[in-house]
Homo-oligomer: A and B are copies of this chain.
Amino acid sequence: MVRTRIIGGTVIPVSERGLWYASGHVVVERGRIVSVGPGEGPSTPEDEVVDARGKYILPGFVNAHGHAAMTLLRGYADDLPLMDWLQKKIWPVEHGLTGEDIYWGTLLAIVEMIENGTTAFADMYFHMDRVAEAVAEAGTRAVLCRGIIGSGPDEGSRAIEESRAFVNRWHRAEDGRITATLGPHAPYTCPPQVLKRVAEVSAQLDVAVQIHLSETRSEVNQMMSAYGKSPVAVCAENGLFERPTLAAHCVHLDDSDIDLLRRFGVHVSHNPGSNLKLGSGVAPLPELLRRNVVVGLGTDGAASNNNLDLLEEIRLAATLHKGVHQDPVIVDADTALALGTREGARALFLEEGLGTLKPGAPADLIIMEAGSPHVLPLYNPISQVVYAARSGDVTDVMCDGRWLLRNREHQTLDRERILYHAERIAARFAP
């Protein structure tokens, strides 16, 4: 069995705060990390040796919330009031998306994410079989769900049954790289009986749940008018939080909401870039962390961000809250890097060890150029990656022990073909 031994680079394992090896190694065998540390590590004559001198080696980024195929609508409509943007621009086009469109749109997202160092992502959309096919081909890791909107009479039930079929086909497929969840869109689009039913079915299927939660002030107001309760309280009351739940956004939370999230062990995807751009607000990340809520970072869809650059979200997580709270130590670089890797993997209910470089963990890792002017000189590699590096510094990406990108060349996907199809499809929507 051939092992891969990556040597000579600065290793940032993200397994412990502040840990790094100036010239370290990572050894990978059968899809798992078997050794990490200083020096060259244990060698065998058959090792594939990768020279990472002048580079960083770190866990792949984990994108904890998004809608991959919305890359097709990247920049389609910007700088509009939220409801105009959604109702007049995004929804009409989404309504016309076919399974084939979504397949290519998802591949466009995955090509972008591989290039920026993302090895695992969450996705909520529709035509999810085509999404899963794209993930299978790309070799990346994903946590997928069919978005459930329950506004119409039978709409919720139909979407739940579709989700059940999807879970049965794809949960733990591709050597476990694909996991499936249920995906009630939000409490304002899923009435209580739908939330209850989702909780039941997710228990039957033994899968987790992803939901949008308390993204905007108007959502909270709407729920308060309808139920006299916050979106978080409505989910709690209808049994959703009895299930492992990943809640995206969580911008507008009061103290009792945060308490509910903590008590029920709800995980949160913090999406600072999308929350800023759509004018939703700034989530209480420092308070969530203080109360030990598990938080990952997400880009959201490319129609609202407008890229899938998780390193931008890591940097924002480390800087935005400092500024808003006027406190330069409130979220530090170590914490932000962990949110974008280890904690993101936890938030997605992935296997323990994922999002770190430690023996036994699945080998999801990236190599980044460390010798360019914008990342020199070097004093602290964790600071450098979080505050100075850019996603274009990523040169190599491995997921589950398999190279997806080597020296910036895709190993699993045909980039030109994907770009061709994405542009062909987008031509239909051009204003």
Contacts and interface: CB of A to CB of B under 8 A. Distances in A.
B419 A72 contact: no
B384 A306 contact: yes
B373 A80 contact: no
Contacts of A425: 377
A387 B333 contact: no
B278 A371 contact: no
Given A78-B333, A280-B326, A388-B75, A373 B112 contact: yes
Identical copies in the complex = 2
A383 to B, nearest CB: 4
A297 to B, nearest CB: 15
A306 B373 contact: no
Contacts of A330: 279
Given A108-B376, A373-B419, A430-B379, A390 B392 contact: yes
Contacts of A78: 332-333, 380, 383, 387
Contacts of A265: none
Interface in A387-431: 387-388, 390-393, 415, 418-419, 422-423, 425-427, 429-431
A328 interface: yes
A79 interface: yes
A392 to B, nearest CB: 3
B376 A423 contact: yes
Max count, chain B CB within 10 A of own CB: residue among A74, A280, A323:
A323
Contact of A281 (B306, B326, B431): B326
A138 to B, nearest CB: 12
A129 interface: no
Interface in A328-360: 328-330, 332-333
A360 to B, nearest CB: 30
A327 interface: yes
B326 A377 contact: no
B377 A74 contact: yes
A384 B329 CA distance: 33
A374 interface: yes
A294 interface: no
Contacts of A1: none
Interface residues of A, number: 77
A306 B388 contact: yes
A18 to B, nearest CB: 11
Contacts of A320: 276, 320
Contact of A79 (B329, B418, B419): B329
A422 B377 contact: yes
A85 interface: yes
Contacts of A280: 323, 326
A305 interface: yes
B377 A329 contact: no
A81 interface: yes
B392 A423 contact: no
A309 B378 CA distance: 17
9 contacts: A79-B333, A80-B329, A217-B326, A276-B323, A277-B322, A278-B322, A279-B323, A306-B387, A376-B419
Interface of A: 71-72, 74-82, 85, 108, 111-112, 115-116, 217, 272-273, 275-282, 302, 305-309, 318-320, 322-330, 332-333, 371-380, 383-384, 387-388, 390-393, 415, 418-419, 422-423, 425-427, 429-431
